[in-house]
A and B are shown apart, each in its own frame.
Chain A
């Protein structure tokens, strides 16, 4: 008998009289201690199916069918009966650890409450058990942290707490619903590793829901692929990846850019002339969220960044969240710049006034992360796209440049039938295309894309990336492409800048940087990025990162990365490494004291190359690591 047996599960939602059939005839088996991955694009019904099983559908949702847990029906039980199932037998970890923990209670309060109610423990016993569990999820200094609130934790630590909370009552099944989607790639790697370990030690069966094939590849025994509420494919992970039976699965697998495959060949960019956009010692500061009586009242998000952008080039910017990528993007348009200078065509932006400034702004445009949020919900698509032309005085009145709007829409793969519709009628990918059409309206020379594809499904993302590539070729646009996904950045960039805590730590041509990183941080990022191939993913050697990013207002002296670095020496603690041109390669710059001497080796993409796979040990280190 299966541990969990789902038969003919249907989930329907009643919205404004219309019915949405979110899950259609789902059948699922889960054996004890098995790990099953459910993948699919957004809206495929994977999360709703799990919510139905847990009895957590929103009020307008209805579930029919049968869910047997150890042979007992649990679908549509009343709240009281469900309390015996939830937490004790079936637990769930949600996507966003920021909002999923109670911000008004301490970690200790909310975790021990579960034990007090579910396992009738007294307060002291519960606290001890909570500490034991927090230790199990490798939360450092667990006992001391019981009295902290969730907002005092980083995203990764919060997700560890969520996992600990889900495991408190030793459930038979742990459902993880996109558990790493909101996290940085390095943190994601350590959370996935943790889930794997806990599954062993707690003998828990795991259902891992993800849109990211790389995430499920390494963890799951079996894979279920969903599309539009239906299971379209099911089988052992290796088989599904190696031999997908449906075109949809195949498209899903192929749309993911992979680090272990050769990157598409880029055109050569002529860098002999004058750079289009040039940043010089850019600084961005923000007021501290909680300033003390004394000490600094502001922190520096971007700490002296130099950049050059040449015509027709794509400059990729990568780094973990909080590293200053977005602040840098805004500062490049002279928004929020604190000191330093941005030169456009050799003239400082800050010196431009009136018409000259307007002209420059016409040339420098922005595409934002949130496709729907960056469009005005009260404006039609035509109004949205023509807006920049009106703002810049290129046309006098609304509707006067319809042919150009249509041209832009067609250029981004949309058409004139959409002119009079509103943003909410479109999908995320279409909205992002509209955003790009709007950005192109003034015939810009520079496009700054701040996480422009991060919120999109992989297949949609692939479409936008090829659109950007085509536009660049036709219009000889220069693009600053900011993203946290390293494989995506590699796909589109000519040169890449790696940022860490407001500084550039490495910069170089894309191929060199991805195959032979010279900063330990760059290598750690590449190493942490999952590869959507179960065979490769299981063979990869992934060092666990314990240290998370220090707060940008509380940096240690010396190299800011040294606490996470396996190669740190006394020199690193003593002084801050300057970003310098790498000996022997004028195209690359690195901010590491040991850039010239460390043999980091190529990142392990599992391709079994002879290039010293997985050997992260330093060859020459002047003194033992701390």
Chain B
């Protein structure tokens, strides 16, 4: 398992390198630059700025400098927020997004799995159909529709919850709900399908023939295999939810990674965008590795 982990981490290096090259080229290929504003700067000022940040260098030299900095743990300076580095910006925003994301994960995965189990055990009942249609809605209606509607209902009309910001625990309810809903819906459907499938397998029939209780069948025998598809979905989903949602953070005015991303991209803040790309892709790689290692925990036949 150690050997497997090490080799997977090593093989992540070329993946990351490729992501870096692609992202760097794309960011630089986008028209405009970090110092373009509505009122054009005097050319000599812009030239001095470009020189100061090394933007006058050839593309590959810039890329080399950036990667060199990364290797030293330096994400570089932000072009639009000269008072802070990209590292500091991420350090401020990431905990905000990650907290929201973790809460959404607990709610989404936890409730999703529970709903999936209930639906699977009551397969084709009215309850099953209701739960599954609600889930379908959760998947198909996008966050930028759900979130404003929730704000309208709970914050504006009913005045139960605050509409934006993150000052008190009550402020967390609506954004966490909005973030968790699609995950919850997706997990519930996955869980239902895989549990229904698992309960049809031969070894469950054997267990039934031995007179074991249905609680044992579901929780001791069928749960592990049924969780496997859920785990493979959750890996990348966790990486996504921890790094914040562009839409949700915008709507609830939350100073997280998602908002940073939007601003960075719009402002052509090259280093900021690159830093966030590195953060997201590393998280994704790590989460996928954890998922693969979890397969080994869930299924004893899988060995690394």
Contacts and interface: CB of A to CB of B under 8 A. Distances in A.
Interface stretch (B79-87, B144-152, B272-280, B294-302): B294-302
B8 to A, nearest CB: 16
Interface in A44-97: 54, 56, 79, 82-88, 91-92, 94, 96
B39 interface: no
A144 interface: no
A105 interface: yes
A422 interface: no
Interface residues of A, number: 36
Nearest to A86: B211
B303 interface: yes
Contacts of B303: 290
Given A94-B202, A96-B202, A113-B220, A103 B209 contact: no
Given A104-B298, A104-B299, A293-B3, A83 B211 contact: yes
A151 B201 contact: no
A87 B206 contact: no
B202 A100 contact: yes
Interface in A112-147: 113-114, 117-118
B216 A117 contact: yes
A87 B203 contact: no
A293 B2 CA distance: 11
A168 B207 CA distance: 13
Contact of B206 (A82, A84, A100): A100
A99 B301 CA distance: 13
Contacts of B209: 54, 56, 86-87, 91-92, 94, 166
Contact of B214 (A79, A100, A169): A79
Contact of A99 (B202, B212, B214, B225): B202
A124 to B, nearest CB: 19
A286 to B, nearest CB: 17
Contact of A103 (B3, B208, B211, B299): B299
A85 B220 CA distance: 21
B205 interface: yes
A493 B301 CA distance: 40
Nearest to B207: A102
Contacts of B213: 83, 117
A101 interface: yes
A162 to B, nearest CB: 8
Contacts of A299: none
B224 A104 contact: yes
A496 interface: no
A73 B208 CA distance: 19
A102 B205 CA distance: 10
Contacts of B211: 82-88, 114, 117-118, 169
A94 B203 CA distance: 10
B125 interface: no
A253 interface: no
Contact of B300 (A110, A151, A162, A293): A151
Nearest to B221: A102
A452 interface: no
A206 to B, nearest CB: 16
Given A54-B209, A113-B220, A118-B210, A103 B301 contact: yes
Contacts of A165: 206, 210
Contacts of A13: none
Contacts of B299: 103-104
A149 B302 CA distance: 12
A66 to B, nearest CB: 21
Contact of A114 (B3, B203, B210, B298): B210
Contacts of B300: 103-104, 106, 149, 151
A103 B302 CA distance: 11
Contact of A91 (B201, B210, B221): B210
A220 to B, nearest CB: 21
Given A149-B301, A290-B303, A102 B206 contact: yes
Contacts of B298: 104
Contacts of B225: 103-104
A149 B303 CA distance: 13
Question: Which of A54, A82, A96, A104 has the most CB atoms of chain B within a 10 A radius of its CB?
Answer: A104
Contacts of A105: 220-221
A101 B221 CA distance: 10
Question: Which of A82, A83, A84 has the most CB atoms of chain B within a 10 A radius of its CB?
Answer: A83
Contacts of A101: 203, 206
Contact of A151 (B3, B224, B301): B301
Contacts of A169: 211
A411 B221 CA distance: 51
Contacts of B216: 113, 117
Given A103-B300, A103-B301, A117 B205 contact: no
Contacts of A83: 211-213
Nearest to A89: B211
B61 to A, nearest CB: 43
B196 to A, nearest CB: 11
Contacts of B203: 99-103
A99 B210 contact: no
Nearest to A104: B224
Given A94-B202, A96-B202, A151-B300, A104 B221 contact: yes
A231 B201 CA distance: 29
Interface in A267-292: 290
A460 B205 CA distance: 30
A96 B3 CA distance: 35
Nearest to A82: B211
B212 A117 contact: yes
Interface in B93-129: none
Nearest to B304: A290
Nearest to A290: B303
Contacts of A293: 3
Contacts of A106: 300
A-B pairs with lowest CB-CB distance, top 5? A87-B211, A86-B211, A99-B202, A87-B210, A102-B203
15 contacts: A56-B209, A79-B214, A86-B209, A87-B211, A92-B209, A94-B205, A96-B202, A100-B202, A100-B205, A101-B206, A102-B206, A103-B203, A103-B301, A104-B298, A113-B216
Given A83-B213, A94-B209, 15 more contacts: A56-B208, A84-B211, A86-B210, A99-B201, A99-B203, A100-B205, A100-B206, A102-B221, A104-B298, A105-B221, A113-B212, A113-B216, A113-B220, A162-B206, A165-B206
